Amino acid sequence: MSSVAVACPSCQSSLPGALCNTGAIAHCPACDNRIQAEIFPAFFKPSSAGRTGETLLEEGVSSCFYHEQKKAVVHCDACGRFLCALCDLDFNGRHLCPVCLQAGRKKGGLPELENRRTIYDSAALWTAVLPILFWPFTLVTGPLAIFLAVFSFFHPSSLISRTRIRAWLALAIGLLQVGGWIALFIIALRH
Amino acid sequence: MASTPNPYRRLPGTGTGVLEYVKLYLAADHLLQVSSNGFMETYRRFYLRDVQAISVRESMHGKVWNGIWGFIAFLFTIVALQTTGPATFVWWGITGIFIFLLTLNVARGPTCVCQVQTAVQTRPLPSLNRVRRAGKVIAQLKPLIEAAQGAMPAGEVARRIDETRRGPAADSMTPIESTFTPPVV
């Protein structure tokens, strides 16, 4: 159980239980600020101690790939290597070894671990639209927007599924800008 | 090409930061906070099984904005009243914009700072910046979190909190080591 009482998010005085989980705003008895606190069962759960690998005592028992002296308890769902309790990383119901987890993170194979993504279709659209205010820049940004839009078709977009409308729009605007510049150059050369 | 179903459902509200906007999404087992600046998205996940508490504190931001919009609208009203001719319509138009912003801010209700707490972090949820909206989202999330963690009888939570409160670590009116990090204003 948590050894720390529930504190008012405003003044940090401990809150009485009657003020929590009411589903409505209440006044803190100490600072009188309007607050709401919803407490969930995880608040009372003790933090569990980390697991350690069991030392291998008998012959013929499989050992951990990474720790020869430790007994294997599970195999990695990605590479199949035997793992001791210490190396077994529970990842959303899957058992992974640290190496596979690291590799998954680096290669982007585990979207659950991703905490940042470049959104090329949005970048393409902004690149196409923003410089319209300073139109001479479109000489550079137009082709760049086309490049980014095409690039976005071959790269993952946001974690939140969305349509390719931004990329298509950026492509159309970029092509218009490039077309405009080509027309302008042709007219300038003729005159 | 078969498209994969979107595992995320958008929750109401959009928060703003420095050159970024923040939205909150709900998946089967976690909340995803997406901060985007238009070129890059940053993700933060809060697994439902790990959420210890969600707190809401009413803030002054809404009242401050009411004051700002009201003051500007008042100034333009004075200017509009003292102007004659076609320019009057322009000044009344500008006044109307600020009155609209004031009305919108009042209609959206009081502002708040919402925070989610897990065993290892306490993070603000900038998209839940209105009391009414925060209440609705919390009401949506509560049964899901309880389903992930196992529901506790209504009185049990209060009893346990009071038990902790009466313990040696907590003194009823003394500031204690906070489970909620005070918001940085």
Which pLDDT tens digit goes with each residue over B71-120? 999 999 999 999 888 888 999 999 999 999 999 999 999 999 999 999 88
**What's the confidence (pLDDT) of residue B185?**
42
> With an 8 Å Cβ cutoff, are A7 and B178 in contact?
yes
Select the residue of B42, B52, B56 nearest A40 (Cβ to Cβ): B52
Distance of CA B70 to the CA centre of its chain: 23
Nearest CA in chain B to A8: B180
Does A39 reach chain B within 8 Å, measured CB to CB?
A: yes
Q: Does the beta-carbon distance from B57 to A123 stay under 8 Å?
A: no
Contact check, Cβ <8 Å, A37/B113: no
Residues of chain B with C-beta less than 8 angstroms from the C-beta of A37 = 53-56, 180
pLDDT over 90 (residue A56): no
What CA–CA distance (Å, rounded) separates A81 from A74? 9
Helix (H) or strand (E) holding B163: helix B154-166
**Cβ within 8 Å of residue B42, ≥6 positions away:** A115, A116, B34, B35, B36
In chain A, what percentage of residues exceed pLDDT 90? Answer: 28
- Mean pLDDT: which of A7-21, A91-105, B127-141 is highest? B127-141
Residue B54 β-bridge partners: A38, B116
Taking the Cβ of residue A5 and every Cβ of chain B, the question of whether any pair is shorter than 8 Å is answered with: yes
* CB within 8 Å: B53 and A15: no
Q: What is the pLDDT of residue B69?
A: 95
- Is the CB of residue B116 less than 8 Å from the CB of residue B125? yes
Give the pLDDT band (50/70/90) at residue A2.
Answer: low
Residue A159 has what pLDDT? 86
Q: Does the structure show a pLDDT above 70 at B136?
A: yes
Question: For chain A, what is the mean pLDDT?
Answer: 85
Which letter does DSSP use for residue B127 in this model?
Answer: T
Q: Is the pLDDT of residue B142 over 80?
A: yes
**Chains A & B: contacts with CB separation below 8 Å:** 194
User: In one letter, which amino acid is B142?
Assistant: K
- pLDDT of residue A118 exceeding 70, the answer is yes
Confidence band for A103, pLDDT divided at 50, 70 and 90: confident
* B143 pLDDT more than 60: yes
pLDDT for B173 equals 43
Q: Do B53 and A6 touch (CB under 8 A)?
A: yes
| Pick among B55, B144, B174 to test the A interface (most A CBs inside 10 A) | B55
Q: How far apart are CA B140 and CA A23, in angstroms?
A: 11
Residue in B39, B50, B135 closest to A42 by CB = B50
**Predicted pLDDT of residue A180:** 94
Instruction: Kindly determine whether residue A17 and residue B135, on different chains, have CB atoms separated by under 8 Å.
Output: no
- Name the residue facing A11 among B29, B167, B175 (closest C-beta): B175
* Contact residues, A window 51-110, toward B, CB-based 8 Å cutoff: 92
| pLDDT average, residue stretch B21-47 | 92
Chosen for mutation from B173, B180, B181 (greatest number of chain A CBs closer than 10 Å) is B180
Whole-prediction pTM: 0.79
Let me know: does B109 contact B132? Beta carbons within 8 Å. Answer: yes
Range scoring the smallest mean pLDDT among A140-149, B40-49, B135-144, B154-163: B154-163
Local structure of A33: helix, strand or coil:
coil
A133 lies within 8 A of chain B by CB: no
Q: CA separation (Å) from A139 to A25, A145, A181, B39, B148?
A: 55, 11, 7, 21, 54
* A127 contacts A145 by C-beta, under 8 angstroms: yes
Chain A: nearest CA to B171, how far in angstroms? 7
Interchain contact A49–B (C-beta under 8 A): no
Q: Which of B43, B115, B173 to mutate to test the interface with A (most CBs of A within 10 A)?
A: B43
The Cα B129–Cα B111 span in angstroms is 6
Query: Does the pLDDT value for residue A184 go beyond 90?
Result: yes
